[in-house]
Every structure is written in C-alpha cells, then in structure tokens.
C-alpha cells in the first residue's frame, strides 16, 4: 500500500474512532433516576429541598455517591449514571433525624429511567402505637450447662408517625426494650435490630433505632446457663404482645400455668417442639414456665449478662443493608457497628455452620407459618438449607 493510501486509511480509522468513543461514553453514562420523596403522615407536606444521597454500589461494594435536592413537590432527578446489572443505586434521605430509603435499590438497564419512591414520616416521641404482633421463644439447643435460645417475631407501628425517642420526653433515647431471663449471656442480634443502636440494660438490652410505621421482623439469640435439672424461665414484655409462643423440644419437660394454651406440636428446623401460647399480653406482664428433665451437671456456673456484638465498617454496613433490602427489608439502614462486650467461646466451623443453618431453617419455618413467605420460595429455600445440613452431617460422620 502506497503512502497516500496508508494516510487515507489512517484518517478514516481516526474518524471512526472519533465517532465511536463519544457514543460509547454516552452509552455508559446515559442512565437516569427519577424519584419522589412523599410524606406518609396524614396532612403533612412533602419534603421540599431535602437532600437525597444516592449510594452507588458495584458488585455490592460502594464506589461513589451522588447528591441531589428535592423540589417543592418532593421530586428529584439524577442523570449521567452508568447502567448495568452489576450496578445498584440506593437513595437515602434524612428526615426529622431518621434515615428513609425505598423498598429496593434501583437497577438501570439503559432503556428507560429508573423510578423510585421514598416515604418519610413525621416523628413522635411517644410509643403508644408500638406493639408486637407475635413474639416466639425457641429453645434451639440443650447442653448440660446451658440452653441456646432464639427469640423472633414482628414489631408493628400502627401509626403514621415514626417513633423516635426524645430524651427530654421519654427520659432516654431508647425505643425498643427487651428484658431477658436472669443470667442470659452472649446476646446476639440476628435480624431487624441494628447492632450499633443496641445497649445493655440491667435486665436485658434496648435499641435506640427509630421505629418506622409498618411491621419489622426481629430476631435475637442468647444462651441461658443453668445448674439443676429444673429451670424456672421468666419472660416479661415492655410492649403489648398479640401472641407469645414458647417452643420446647419434645425431650424437655415443661410445667405451665393456667391460661397458657397448648395447641399441639410443630416442626422447626427439622426438630419437633411442643407449643405453649399466651394471647394478648399487657406491657409489664410476666410469663413463667418451669422446664424439667434438663441434663444439668452439679457444678455449672452461669456467667454475667453480655451483649455480644461485632463491629463493621461503613462499607460493609451499606452492603449488609442493601442485601437485606434486596431480599425484602426487615430492619433499618443505620447499621452494624457494634462494640464487643463479651467474646463467646469459639465453636468448630462445622458446628457453628450447622447451628446457623438450623437457626435459619427455624426462622424460615416460623415466617412461613406466619404467612410472610410464599410456599414456592419457602420450599425451595428450605430444601437448599436442609441439603446443606445433610452434607455437613455426612462430612462430620466421615471425619469421625
């Protein structure tokens, strides 16, 4: 090829590149989010000039953020965003000192604007509308020295205002309070309880996290040491409880007072339990049950109450929040930076995983029984976790 021909070819190639590069850049940053911040409190005006922070996550790792303010009608718009299945945009707005966010993050495919809505609420310092629809105490395991217990249920705010405690009105910044049986140790939040909002109290623990309108699934676990084959188990409640259910393994005896219904047995996490139910519990009321036939040694020593929590960075916090919301949120986003109060004994990896899987299956069974999970999703998730449990059991058998 002669020099003029080579020059012409080079010019044409450069011209093509000049045309292609801007188009590719535009294609990579042509995403648009259109949103609105509405006020869910009756008679309240939409938030005007409120700052919305759009957190940008790629492969669940935060890579940046964009900030925009709402107009007089609460609308906001963000353009110049890159589309892609691995990119998630999660908007959060602070209103009345409380963080609010949509049900799920925004994914842009480049074909149409991503649309989202964030509902905010006026705050109230009074907990009058706070109650537990249901609260369940599940005795997960029984060793010769301690019971392993998980409590789970749903707290509901029936009002159209967010309960945010005001120390000048309520005397403290605490919202949800949980009393525990005397001697409980290694208290660990499992779901719906932002760990950086938790603090120990003389009889249990409390959360300072605001309680937004609607229902929130909560769960926490702890160990309860004992020294004899009989244990008096007491549980009291700071808020009204629609139904409290105690699940006792079938090989453990129980003596219950009058007024506790025994509807039968249930299978949770692949284990059979007897159910003991108390309906409509008033705040401050106490439920007492005596457990019998426990395999207690003569010299077990209870330890002091400890709130075991694990610290996390802001990036991990946001990724945890995103994952929770992606699977249908159960808690709030302020999350998981927690001071360690007590270090629990380290279990073998397989044992710890088995316990976590059993807890997960039990939670899934309980949520399905309450109607919070559709049957097809329940069956699929339960089969997957049961298969993993079986694989761990076979692995342990082969190693022994």
DSSP labels for 102-140?
A: -SS-B---SSS-EEEEEEE--EES--TTEEEEEEEEEEE
Which one has a higher pLDDT value, 319 or 206? 206
pLDDT for position 22:
43
pLDDT for position 375:
67
Asked whether residue 74 falls in the same domain as residue 196, the answer is no
What tokens were used for 199? Answer: 């603090």
pLDDT for position 365:
64
pLDDT tens for each residue of 358-394 = 666 666 666 666 667 676 666 667 666 666 655 555 5
On whether the CB atoms of residues 147 and 226 are closer than 8 A, the answer is yes
Asked whether residue 338 falls in the same domain as residue 225, the answer is yes
- End of a domain among 120, 142, 167? 120
- End of a domain among 298, 325, 345? 345
Q: Structurally, how many domains does the chain consist of? A: 3
pLDDT for position 361:
64
Percent of the chain with pLDDT over 90: 42
Q: What is the residue-averaged pLDDT of the chain?
A: 77
Q: Would the pLDDT of 13 be above 60?
A: no
Asked whether residue 228 falls in the same domain as residue 104, the answer is no
pLDDT for position 74:
95
Which one has a higher pLDDT value, 329 or 50? 50
Place 345 in a pLDDT band, splitting at 50, 70 and 90. very low
- End of a domain among 304, 321, 345? 345
Asked whether residue 312 falls in the same domain as residue 233, the answer is yes
- Find the range with the poorest average confidence among 145-154, 236-245, 338-347: 338-347
Q: Does residue 85 belong to any structural domain of this protein?
A: yes
Q: Would the pLDDT of 141 be above 50?
A: yes
pLDDT for position 111:
78
Question: Does the pTM exceed 0.75?
Answer: no
Asked whether residue 293 falls in the same domain as residue 333, the answer is yes
Asked whether residue 47 falls in the same domain as residue 187, the answer is no
Asked whether residue 398 falls in the same domain as residue 339, the answer is no
Q: Does residue 19 belong to any structural domain of this protein?
A: no
Q: What mean pLDDT is predicted for residues 212-232?
A: 92
Q: Does residue 274 belong to any structural domain of this protein?
A: no
Asked whether residue 168 falls in the same domain as residue 42, the answer is no
Which one has a higher pLDDT value, 188 or 324? 188
On whether the CB atoms of residues 207 and 198 are closer than 8 A, the answer is yes
What CATH code is carried by the domain that includes residue 76? 2.60.40.10
**Which structural domain range is residue 80 located in?**
27-120
Asked whether residue 145 falls in the same domain as residue 102, the answer is no
214-225 and 146-157: which strand pairing? antiparallel
Asked whether residue 168 falls in the same domain as residue 291, the answer is yes
Q: Would the pLDDT of 30 be above 90?
A: no
Asked whether residue 116 falls in the same domain as residue 168, the answer is no
Asked whether residue 326 falls in the same domain as residue 257, the answer is yes
Q: Does residue 55 belong to any structural domain of this protein?
A: yes
- The secondary structure element, H or E, covering residue 364 is helix 349-369
Q: Does residue 270 belong to any structural domain of this protein?
A: no
């Amino acid at each position: 090829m002669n020099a003029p021909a080579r020059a012409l070819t080079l010019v044409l190639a450069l011209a093509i590149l000049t045309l292609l590069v801007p188009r590719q850049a535009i294609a990579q940053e042509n995403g648009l989010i259109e949103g609105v911040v509405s006020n869910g409190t009756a008679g309240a005006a939409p938030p005007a000039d409120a700052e919305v922070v759009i957190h940008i996550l790629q492969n669940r790792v935060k890579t940046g953020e964009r900030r925009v303010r709402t107009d007089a009608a609460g609308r906001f718009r963000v353009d110049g965003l890159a589309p892609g299945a691995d990119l998630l945009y999660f908007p959060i707005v602070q209103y009345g000192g409380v963080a609010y966010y949509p049900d799920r993050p925004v994914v842009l495919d480049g074909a149409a604007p991503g649309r989202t809505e964030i509902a905010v609420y006026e705050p109230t310092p009074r907990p009058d509308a706070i109650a537990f629809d249901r609260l369940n105490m599940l005795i997960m395991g029984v060793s010769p020295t301690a019971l392993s217990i998980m409590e789970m249920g749903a707290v509901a705010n029936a009002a159209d205002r967010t309960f945010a405690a005001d120390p000048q009105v309520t005397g403290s910044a605490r919202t949800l309070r949980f009393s525990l049986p005397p001697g409980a140790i290694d208290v660990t939040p499992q779901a719906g309880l932002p760990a950086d909002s938790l603090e120990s109290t003389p009889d249990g623990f409390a959360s300072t996290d605001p309680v937004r309108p609607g229902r929130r699934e909560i769960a926490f676990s702890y160990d309860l040491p004992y020294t004899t084959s009989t244990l008096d188990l007491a549980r009291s409640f700071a808020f009204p409880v629609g139904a409290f259910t105690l699940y006792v393994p079938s090989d453990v005896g129980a003596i219950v007072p009058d007024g506790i219904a025994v509807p039968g047995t249930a299978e949770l996490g692949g284990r059979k339990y007897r159910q003991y139910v108390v309906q409509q519990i008033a705040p401050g009321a106490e439920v007492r049950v005596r457990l019998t036939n426990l395999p207690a040694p003569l010299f077990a020593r209870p330890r002091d109450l400890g709130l075991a929590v694990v610290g996390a960075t802001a990036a991990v916090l946001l990724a945890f929040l995103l994952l929770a919301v992606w699977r249908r949120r159960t808690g709030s986003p302020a999350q998981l930076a927690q001071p360690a109060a007590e270090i629990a004994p380290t279990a073998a990896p397989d044992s710890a995983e088995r316990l976590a899987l059993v807890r997960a299956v039990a939670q899934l069974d309980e949520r399905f029984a309450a109607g919070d999970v559709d049957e097809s999703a329940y069956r699929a998730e339960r089969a997957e976790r049961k298969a993993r449990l079986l694989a761990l059991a076979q692995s342990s058998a082969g190693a022994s």
